[in-house]
Amino acid sequence: MTRKRKSKLRLGLVGTLLVLLLAWAFWPRPEPVDIAAVERAPLIVTLDEEGETRVRDRFVVSAPLAGRVLRIELEPGDPVVADETVLATFQPQRPTLLDARSRAEAEAGARAAQATLERARADRDRAAAELEFAQAEVQRYRRLAEDRIVSDEELETAELAARSRQEALEAAEFAAQTARHQLEVARARLLEGPALGGNPHPEGAGAPILLRSPVDGMVLKRLRESEAVVPVGEPLLEVGQPEELEIVADYLSSDAVQIRPGARVRIEEWGGVGALEGTVRRVEPSGFMKISALGVEEQRVNVVVDFIDPPEARPGLADGFRVELRVVLWEGEEVLQVPTGSLFREGDDWAVFAVEEGRVVLRQVGIGRQGGLVAEVVEGLEEGDQVILHPGDSIVEGLRVKPRSS
């Protein structure tokens, strides 16, 4: 072989090597992606919301009369015993003296209230008599209707009249109760004090009143501490049994219509170990408007949840604590599911990018129930199929991919 031919052969080998290197450098490499498998596993569909614990039966102790309440020594957390523990000492105000004119006006008001009560009682008696007559008419019309003497319309008219008389009697009862209350108020004005120059107020009418606890439990809140003059009905303390807890959470009204009493609830993020179990006791029948953190008006509905776990399973959890609720709407075993992070919209349908032999394949899928991070697969995928999680714009059908290294 001549020197010239050797040189040409060497140049050809170098050129071929350069071409191979360039081809390798510009050859498309597989795109690294996150891949998950379609599998069968338990699926739980929940509605999640933040809730707050509260004592189920709380009692607000308030001032029975206008007067001075002495300093309240009890503090939140102190135990109380029903009918024994003195919550507060209350000193009523001295009775007001009535002059002759005020007493005359009070007596006239009492007489007017007495007359109103008598009239209300008479109206009630008349309504009762009319109801008795209307009910007798209904019975007579029913017998005649059985013999086809009167029509069904006439019978319905008689029944309607009886219902109207029943409602009239109930209204008369309410009117009599109101009149009786007004008479008690009018008579109470006469007891506020003696006429000017009359006998002194009866002995004991300014004696201290001891407000005792209505239930066993502990002090939940002290609404007033220092000694002060308070009006009638002023709240002083809240007491209750802290182990008798419930949870209230406000759900969107569109979510609340899916919740039924008796539904299972998982209680999480309560500060202790593991999740607690609960059950929906009531979905309140009336909603309310609430402004969200983003300033959006939302219609919310309160959902009340009872604990299933005993108080020993939730140590430290007390009134007004924050928890996370997961109300279970549906749950199933061995449900074919796919991560929701792999789903995207393709027109009006759901789709995923599946991986077959290292290449991307677009698949239309049917999705059933969704449980947060996973969704039920109705059609389009089988157990063991691999899908791409969170596909970006660079992922297209036919692209070569490989699992991303951890």
Contacts of 276 (CB under 8 A, 6+ apart): 266, 267, 268, 270, 307, 308, 309, 313, 314
- Please check whether residues 298 and 344 belong to one and the same domain: no
Position 301 pLDDT exceeds 90:
yes
Which domain CATH number covers 346? 2.40.420.20
pLDDT tens, residue by residue, 106-123 = 788 888 888 888 888 888
Q: Which residues of 45-61 are buried (b: 16+ CB within 10 A; e: fewer)?
A: bbbebebebbbbebbeb
* Helix 100-146 with 152-190: angle, nearest 10 deg: 160
Find, among 89, 51, 92, 62, the residue nearest to 276 by Cα: 51
- Please check whether residues 84 and 217 belong to one and the same domain: yes
What mean pLDDT comes out for the span 343-370?
Answer: 90
What mean pLDDT comes out for the span 332-344?
Answer: 92
Q: For residue 24, what pLDDT is reported?
A: 59
In a domain, 151, yes or no: yes
Residues in the chain: 406
Cβ–Cβ under 8 Å, residues 90 and 63: yes
Domain that holds residue 264: 47-54+242-331
Find, among 46, 47, 38, 44, the residue nearest to 378 by Cα: 38
- Tell me the CA distances in angstroms from 42 to 26, 97, 328, 371, one per residue in order: 46, 77, 13, 10
- Please check whether residues 372 and 389 belong to one and the same domain: yes
- Please check whether residues 260 and 123 belong to one and the same domain: no
Position 263 pLDDT exceeds 80:
yes
Share above pLDDT 70 across residues of the chain, in percent, rounded to a whole number: 86
Domain boundary among 298, 331, 364: 331
Cβ–Cβ under 8 Å, residues 239 and 223: no
Higher pLDDT, 95 or 176: 176
pLDDT tens, residue by residue, 169-193 = 877 876 787 777 677 767 766 655 4
Position 157 pLDDT exceeds 90:
no
Q: For residue 299, what pLDDT is reported?
A: 94
Beta strands (DSSP E) in 273-358 are 276-283, 288-291, 297-307, 322-339, 344-346, 349-356
pLDDT tens, residue by residue, 54-86 = 998 888 888 877 788 899 999 998 999 988 899
**What band does 379 get if pLDDT is binned at 50, 70 and 90?**
very high
Q: For residue 14, what pLDDT is reported?
A: 67
Residue in this structure with the two tokens 């709240």, named with its chain if needed: 235
What mean pLDDT comes out for the span 276-284?
Answer: 93
Q: For residue 193, what pLDDT is reported?
A: 44
- Please check whether residues 105 and 148 belong to one and the same domain: yes
- Please check whether residues 144 and 73 belong to one and the same domain: no
- Please check whether residues 358 and 232 belong to one and the same domain: no
Domain boundary among 166, 190, 214: 190
Q: For residue 103, what pLDDT is reported?
A: 75
Looking at residue 394, its amino acid is S
**What band does 204 get if pLDDT is binned at 50, 70 and 90?**
very low
Q: Count structural domains, the chain.
A: 4
**What band does 53 get if pLDDT is binned at 50, 70 and 90?**
very high
- Please check whether residues 255 and 388 belong to one and the same domain: no
Domain boundary among 159, 190, 221: 190
- Please check whether residues 215 and 81 belong to one and the same domain: yes
